[in-house]
Structure 1
Amino acid sequence: KRMVTVDVIGAGPRAVAGLLEHVGVKAEICPLEVVEKRLVDLKEYDVAFVSGMTVDLEAAAKALRLWRKSCGMSPIVAGGPMFYEYRKLIAFGYDIVVMGEAEPVIPSLIKCLKQNDITCLEKVKGIAYRGQQKTVSVTGLAPHATIKQLSIQHSAHVENYPLYWASRVYVEIVRGCSNFRRPSLKLADGRRCIHCPICFNPRTPLSARLRCPVGIPAGCGYCSVPATHGPARSRSREIIVREIRELVKRGVKRIVLSAPDVLDYQRDMLVYPEPLTDPCNPPANVDALERLLDDIFNIDEVSKGETYVMVENIKACLVDEEVAKLLGEYFRGTPVHLGVETGDPQHYRMLGRPGNLADVKRAVRLLSRYGMQVYVYFIYGLPGENLKTAKKTVELMEQLYRLGAEKVTAYRFTPLPGTAFENIEIKLTRASMMIKEKAQELNARAKKKLLGRKVFGIVAGFHKARRRLVVYPLPHGPVILTRGKKQLVGWLVEVRVTDIVSERMLEGTVVRKIKPIASHKAVEVALQVY
């Protein structure tokens, strides 16, 4: 609920709402804070679907209490990445948990809910539910959605999000991940890689990479995407463009093309009918990506610069001169994210990472050359971390900054359910702090370069603790706090950066009011909620 971290509207809830609409169910999306403020009447609804991450269990419990208070024992269903905690969710009081992707599950689940027959749930593949005598029944993990199912239009009804007019709205273009390598570090239960040829031998059939002889989950050891969503599959260009057009029509100003790796877009068609389980080969499908971007940037509001479109995650091993040139042509001056995690080459491979560190250096150099704002990401506290790996990581951080990386971020390792490292104990050491402190140092140096710079932004609200207006820079960047009256909320403004407040916030002065972009009613709702 903090003003500096509420500017994201994820693709997941919109995908579920679109799926419900597809099977004839009227669906509306509401963030929890809107429900808490009683801006919607839960009694008007028959079923609640609650989506969350694994860190959202407390919020999920709060949503459940609000639903039960208003709607009694009407069904409430949980889903999203927090499904791994299905036993806790059902212990809280949830009736059903969707165990994975919603597309293969929702149509048959809705039929059962309409029948109000608990025995019907036994036939629904991919759920956990409260059975007779308080038992927990599980029908297995949901199968991964097919290309056809992924092409069901996601809902564009985002108006119940108080800050939809200032938020980054994520539009899914790829589901799943192509990195089916696996970590070789020893796991918490004693398992470790036996160095079979499956993950790294280029002659291994792509379908053979789906299974590991010793059962190690696919992908980087800390990431649950391959286990949860399977290999990368692309949504159709027509559906993506139609969805963006509808969002733009509703007043959305910032759109992010969402994917574990944008450069996986239509790579799956290059290996079809085999699954895309090689993170680096074949190369990016540049022709398909260019057709998609051309259609998106031909949308009138996008071509005029009234709506911003951005990308986020890409794999360094897929970046070459042609790819960097294409991204620079469409996204010059916007951020692009590269996961690096460690600066030690051996550690990098042992984590299950795709490609190598030479790929990372090349990608940073090329993307910077073509005008992208390169953000690189590291993780401190990882399994296998020691003083040697930390020193090499700190050295690489400095190198990447000098090569053009504009932001260096270090996250604390968190063991997630469904990953190879899920049961590994977190150990923060002197080595961990070296990595964290280096990232802080580099970001402080980078932010000094912003002083005096003028940026456009949307005044999104009021920071009560600091008594300042909150400005979200366009297309993206550190939040800027500025003096001014609340009447400026909802306006597009130009701001001059004057000071550094913290690692995530800057101070600025409004030098020009440009135009209002949100209605008076929308601004009132945003101020009431936040």
Structure 2
Amino acid sequence: MARVIVVDALAREHGKRMVTVDVIGVGPRAVAGLIEKLGVRASLYPLEAVLEEPSILAEYDAMFVSAMSSDKPAAQRLAKLWKRFSNGPSVIGGPVSIEIGEALRLGYDYAVIGEAEVVLPNALKPMLKRDNDVLLHIKGVAFTRKGRIVFTGKPPYASRETLNYIHYTDIRNYDAYWAARVYVEVVRGCSNWRRPRGRLPDGRVCIHCEICTSAPLRARIKCPVSIQPGCGYCSVPVLYGPARSREVDTIVEEVKRLIDLGVTRVVLSAPDFLDYKRDVLVEPEPLTDPCNPPANINAIRELLEALFDKIPEFAMREAYLMIENVKACLVDERVAKVLGEYLRGTPVHIGVETGSDNHMWMLGRPITTTDAKRAVSLLRSAGLEPYVYFIYGLPWENSKVVHETIMLMEELWKLGATKVTAYRFRPLPGTAFQDYEPPVPGSESYAILAKARELNRAEKGRWLGRVVRGIVAGWHPAKKMLVVYPLPHGPVTLVRGPRGLIGWLVKVEITGVISDRMLKGRIVSRIRRVARRSDGGLRVRSGASLSR
């Protein structure tokens, strides 16, 4: 039987994760699980593990790689390594494949364009056999033939039923997987199919026609002026389509297998967790309205209740369940109540992006500043930890927008946002904003970043004197200190102690603030060992940022 290695190269531009090193994402696990579902043996490795021991590649007949556009250097390096150790086919997929020619020029035999669940059931075995004549008739495949790039056409989006299988759960090749945040997909795709309203560099401008306002949901997928759907900076709608939900039983079984393996932190992953089973409320139409209908409270409660009922480690606080993103326009009293009932003390991420309502409208955002303030207040009152996100350097940003954004950041922090994150705008291929330039260092936009750092450092001061539970995940060679991840989530904390404590759950008193991203503390007591004795700790590499 053929053996396939699936390599997770996501967010590893330089061959290793430089930020959020405690994350194990969804995509590569989904691909590996699908390959096994199709009857082919698969193994999953993070890129850094392969780069440290490239001879691993010789054990496999084919290589599948998941990467983003920013990961091209690492993906190219991996393709060269593969050719040193194997003559088998290499396949690249994920967001990087939206640039078809670029993906193939990295040195891969095939690129998968679209969702693997649609393409691989027909394409996997022909790829393993290099049967390009068969592949010519399968949509979603690109390869080079007679010196020319062949693209077989864009495939349809995967159905909800197609997504309902168990993703690969043997993640032991990842450093300190037992301390990592492991993402489990509950929703694929995005419900925001509005368009940005400002004039684009090529002259196109949204005419605000009935397709985005009053047409049947299905019609919103097509735009008369061919502007990509969704927020202008985001590629999720183009890559993954409208929001579709996985079934409760599948999610519970996948999470259970991860917990049985020793995972302690699970994140229910979705572009918007509150889209869960909203797609059921509008079927057979696709879910393309970001704010209507309201959240499907009954379905959300059913999912969370099943996870706590069938996985006792959550109720016993031996493992922790979290969610990630929510749209502020879907947060109401009912949502806050049910999330607070099951997820109290855990973070909830709210994309705000800008402090100007008019700028939000131009960007294609589905919320207002009022929505953001209400969501933070409600979630904080329910006992959750609201994290808010902004992007600096976006198109159509000006002095007024920068000022309004800084004012909103301060107001949300005062309302209870416990983390304020500012990302630098980066134009992504396939998005409406792909032809814009990122902000120039030192420009006025960077005042937003400075404000985020100021607020986060002030927030870190509120941790002083607290005693928290955390997992000792590894050793920081530059600081010569142990790395502790607070539970269920919180700022990375460095403590002094012997390396033998790696893998232990401990109590830590917070004694100082290192930066806007990091704390220091002292170990008060040991609680129990979390990692199996054969499992290694987090290997912090030079230049990496541990902060979340």
| Range into which the TM-score falls when normalised by the shorter chain | over 0.9
Displacement, 1:42?
Answer: 1.6
Distance of 2:536 and 2:103 partners within structure 1: 35
Distance change >3 Å, CA 475–CA 4, structure 1 → 2? farther
- SS of the counterpart of 2:231? coil
User: Which residue, 406, 416, 421 being the options, matches 1:394?
Assistant: 406
TM-fit CA distance, 1:85: 2.9
**Structure 1 residues 4, 233: closer, same or farther in 2, change over 3 A?**
closer
Q: Secondary structure at the match of 1:447?
A: helix
Identify the match of residue 416 of structure 2 among 392, 398, 404: 404
1:504 to 508, 511, 517: 517
> Which of 148, 154, 176 does residue 135 from structure 1 map onto?
148
Deviation string, structure 1 residues 275-294 (Cα, Å, up to 9, x no partner) = 10000000000001100000
Q: Residues 436-447 of structure 1: matches in 2 within 5 Å? A: 436-447=449-460
2:385 counterpart residue number: 373
CA distance in 2 between partners of 1:261 and 1:528 (Å): 31
Contact 2:248 2:303 in 1 (8 A): yes
SS of residue in 2 equivalent to 1:217: coil
Q: State the distance in 1 between where 2:125 and 2:66 align.
A: 20
C-alpha distance in structure 2 between counterparts of 1:18 and 1:297, whole Å: 24
Assess if the C-alpha contact under 8 Å between 1:333 and 1:371 holds in 2. yes
Q: C-alpha deviations, 1:338-371, integer Å up to 9, x for none? A: 0001111111111100132211111111001101
Gaps of 5+ in 2: 1-15, 543-548
- TM-score normalised per structure 1: 0.96
Mapped pair 1:12 → 2:27: yes
Residues 83-122 of structure 1: pairs in structure 2 closer than 5 A: 83-122=97-136
Distance 2:424 2:251 in 1: 34
- Hey, what does 1:56 align to over in structure 2? 71
Q: Which moved more, 1:30-39 or 1:6-15?
A: 30-39
Q: 1:427: how far off? A: 3.4
Q: Which residue matches 1:476?
A: 489
CA distance in 1 between partners of 2:184 and 2:111 (Å):
24
Contact 1:33 1:529 in 2 (8 A): no
The CA RMSD measured in Å over matched residues stands at 1.6
Q: Is the Cα–Cα contact under 8 Å of residues 456 and 492 in structure 1 kept in the other structure?
A: yes
Q: How far apart are the structure 2 equivalents of 1:4 and 1:457?
A: 19
Q: TM-score, normalised by structure 2?
A: 0.93
- 1:315-356 Cα shifts (integer Å, max 9, x gaps): 000000000011111111110000001111111111100132
Q: Matched residues in 2 for 1:348 and 1:368: separation? A: 23
Work out the number of aligned pairs and report it.
Answer: 525
Structure 2 residue matching 1:148: 3-state secondary structure: coil
Judge conservation of contact 2:475–2:540 (CA < 8 Å) in 1.
no
SS class of match (1:510): strand
Does 2:326 align with 1:314?
A: yes
Identity, % of aligned positions: 54
| Residue 357 in structure 1 maps to residue 365 in structure 2 | no
**Aligned match for 1:456, one of 446, 452, 469:** 469
SS in 2 for 1:389: helix
Instruction: Quote the Cα distance in structure 1 between the aligned partners of 2:105 and 2:242.
Output: 32
Q: Secondary structure at the match of 1:68?
A: helix
Measured after TM superposition, the shift of residue 54 of structure 1 is 1.4
Partners of 1:151 and 1:187 in 2: CA distance? 38
Alignment of 1:426 onto 2:438: yes
Aligned to 2:3: none
Report whether the alignment pairs 1:210 with 2:213.
no
Which residue number in structure 2 is paired with residue 42 of structure 1? 57
CA distance in structure 2 between the aligned counterparts of 1:527 and 1:412, rounded to whole angstroms:
27
Structure 1 spans left out of the alignment, 5+ residues:
none
Partner of 1:413: 425
Aligned to 1:328: 340
Work out whether residues 283 and 318 of structure 1, in 8 Å CA contact, stay in contact via their aligned partners in 2.
Answer: yes
Give distance in 1, aligned partners of 2:177 and 2:541. Answer: 13
Q: What's the counterpart of residue 126 of structure 1?
A: 140
Kindly provide the amino acid, as one letter, of the partner of residue 458 in structure 2.
R
Matches within 5 A, 1:164-179: 164-179=177-192
One-letter amino acid of the counterpart of residue 404, structure 2: K
What amino acid is the match of 1:191? R
Tell me the SS of whatever aligns to 1:520.
coil
Summarize the alignment of residues 269-348 of structure 1 with structure 2, pairs less than 5 Å apart. Answer: 269-298=280-309, 299-348=311-360
Given that 1:4 and 1:479 are in contact with CA atoms closer than 8 Å, whether structure 2 keeps it comes out as no
Greater mean deviation of Cα atoms: 390-399 or 316-325: 390-399
**Counterpart-to-counterpart distance in 1, 2:92 and 2:497:** 41
Q: Which residue of 2 aligns with 1:261?
A: 272
Distance, in Å, in 1 between the alignment partners of 2:227 and 2:355 is: 24
Give the 4+ runs in structure 1 shifted more than 4 A.
526-530
- Opposite residue 92 of structure 1, the aligned amino acid is L
Whole-angstrom distance in 2 between the partners of 1:8 and 1:149: 25
Q: Which residue of 2 aligns with 1:235?
A: 246
The 3-state SS of whatever aligns with 1:425 is coil
Letter in 1 for 2:179: A
CA distance in 2 between partners of 1:19 and 1:28 (Å): 12
Offset at residue 449 of structure 1 (A): 0.4
Q: In proportion to residue count, which structure has more helix?
A: 1
**Equivalent position SS for 2:405:** helix
Distance 1:213 1:3 in 2: 41
Distance 1:482 1:365, change over 3 A: same
Please state if 1:156 is matched with 2:159: no
Alignment partner of 1:220 out of 216, 231, 234: 231
Q: Is 1:518 the equivalent of 2:531? A: yes
| Alpha-carbon distance in structure 2 between the residues aligned to 1:184 and 1:98 | 31
SS of corresponding position for 2:535:
helix
- 1:466 Cα deviation from its structure 2 partner: 1.2
> What are the Cα deviations for residues 12-51 of structure 1, in whole angstroms up to 9, with x where unaligned?
1111111111110010100111112228622221110000
1:486-497 to 2 correspondences below 5 Å: 486-497=499-510
Q: For residue 149 of structure 1, give the secondary structure of its aligned residue in structure 2.
A: coil
Bigger drift between 393-402 and 277-286 goes to 393-402
